Structure 1
Amino acid sequence: MHILLVEDDAKLGFMIQYKLGSEGHQVDWAQTAEEAEAFHDTGGYDLYILDWMLPGKSGLDLCKAWREGQDNTAILMLTARDAIQDRVNGLIQGADDYLIKPFAFEELFARIFALDRRKQLSGYHEAYSISGLTLNLRTQEVVRDGESIYLTKRELDLLAYMMRHPGEVLSRERILNYVWGSGAEVTLNAVDATIKLLRRKIDEPFDFKLVQSIHGRGYRLVDMGADGHD
């Protein structure tokens, strides 16, 4: 899962990021609400883990604002507040679950697994269809105009991110942070190289080119219908 962790306690935040990374999750860690909002704007997260008490704007404030913005990504609140009314208030504001500090990491893993399972049972699926191109992340199937296309895991992640934001210009930095993770030791050239490989597979055999370069800004996936193409 791609997880946004918001925790101002440096020791705890480091341990959560490390432990979840060891479990195979990709974790971006913010220590303030402002940093969290910057990460949030990149999109593409499967889960938010929000500490209730943050300097300035609280985790509950973030939860409420993101829900009001129609973001339905699962939210797990971390809190030292164990009063029933506090927990009820968190759920009312849009949290899906809560975990009271201090906690065992085994319980954190179990809560994350339960939230992911709930999402799967609700009928959630990662499937996209734009301009004759379809992507199903569950089956890892990519098809354009009836022709099956094989993509590597990195190419699939990149295509999924672009298909979540059709017509939107995505900077190379934004793509790098999402596809490789904010702590990845790779350069922006990796983005350009992967875009080139993706184009070779989903664009070169076809007349209309879906992946466009926007000089000085980044890349975008063209929605033919939105741009007035037939």
Structure 2
Amino acid sequence: MNILVVEDDSDIGAMLSRGLAAEGFDVTVVGRADEALDSARQYNPCAVLLDIMLPDGSGIEVCRALRDAGHAGPILFLSAKDEVRDRAEGLGAGADDYIVKPFEFGELVARLRAHLMHRTGGGHEQRILAGRLVLDLATRTALYGEIHVRLTEREAELLALLMGSPNRPVPRGEIFDRLWANQGGVSLNVVDVYVGYLRTKLAPVGRAGGPQVATVRGRGFMLDLSVSAPAH
């Protein structure tokens, strides 16, 4: 998969090039708006990581031009502009995500892969397993035996995070940083709210003896696989 990085800061561009290459991507890095459009036409990248403030124009206009030209892959803004109106403008121009600098590289890769999986549709690589629980990321459906539970996008992201380390508590702060840190006006309590939503959705799985979301006092939340078979 070829990723086009549009970033005029050479240090950030080099960091992204090294990091994404280590993750298995082919990476093209350019530093100007005109180079971004030329490279997109030449390489047809699977995704674009796009700075807003470029020396010869705005990344907002680049995003609009890419969408007008038919580019259907994910476009993620990477910008130091962190006002709500800036994020709204970026998303309104056709971007799939808006990540504020400085950012954690691991979170960037996780978001990038999530958007790529969402665009590519089904397939076994779309599924996460923890015990007998399966999460289909393409349809945002949790499956346990004959039980099918439809989830919202954020509920599926939360479950995927917990399924990544079953039986290990994930701190509330880590969950917040991974899923909500770049959204303005959101407090840490949003984690508890969505854990509650997820528990309600997974209640049929728990009644069938499947994994449950447990609270580990002082340590966070975890997907508990050590459950008993249901009584008959």
Tell me the TM-score normalized by structure 1.
Answer: 0.51
Given that 1:211 and 1:219 are in contact with CA atoms closer than 8 Å, whether structure 2 keeps it comes out as yes
CA 1:124/1:181 → structure 2, altered by over 3 Å: closer, same or farther?
A: farther
TM alignment of 1:16-31, pairs within 5 A: none
Other-structure match for 1:99: 29
Q: Secondary structure at the match of 1:219?
A: strand
Query: Per the alignment, do residues 153 and 212 of structure 1 end up closer, same or farther by CA in structure 2, a change over 3 Å counting?
Result: same
Amino acid at match of 1:51: G
User: Which residue is 1:188 aligned to?
Assistant: 188
| Counterparts of 2:24 and 2:198, CA distance in 1 | 27
Q: 2:149 matched to 1:219?
A: no
SS at match of 1:125: helix
Identity %: 24
1:213/1:219 contact within 8 Å kept: yes
Task: Indicate the SS of the match to 2:222.
Answer: strand
Retained in 1: the 8 A contact 2:6–2:32?
no
Structure 1 residues 7 and 187, CA, compared in 2 at 3 Å: closer, same or farther? farther
How do 1:1-40 residues align onto structure 2 when only pairs under 5 Å count?
A: 9=9
After TM superposition, the structure 1 = structure 2 runs for residues 1-230 of structure 1, keeping only pairs within 5 Å, are 9=9, 50-52=12-14, 58=15, 62=19, 67=22, 72=23, 74=25, 96-104=26-34, 106=37, 111=45, 112=47, 113=73, 116=116, 120=120, 125-203=125-203, 204-207=206-209, 209-224=211-226
The answer as to whether partners of 1:99 and 1:108 remain within 8 angstroms in 2 is no
Asked if structure 2 preserves the Cα contact closer than 8 Å seen for 1:125 and 1:138, the reply is no
SS of equivalent to 1:213: strand
Superposed CA RMSD: 4.0
C-alpha distance after superposition, 1:83-139 (max 9, x if no partner) = xxxxxxxxxxxxx1112222445556953139949x949x67320122321111112
Partner Cα distance (2:222, 2:213) in 1: 6
Secondary structure of 2:158's counterpart equals helix
Cα distance in 2 for residues equivalent to 1:165 and 1:97: 29
Partner SS, residue 97 of structure 1? strand
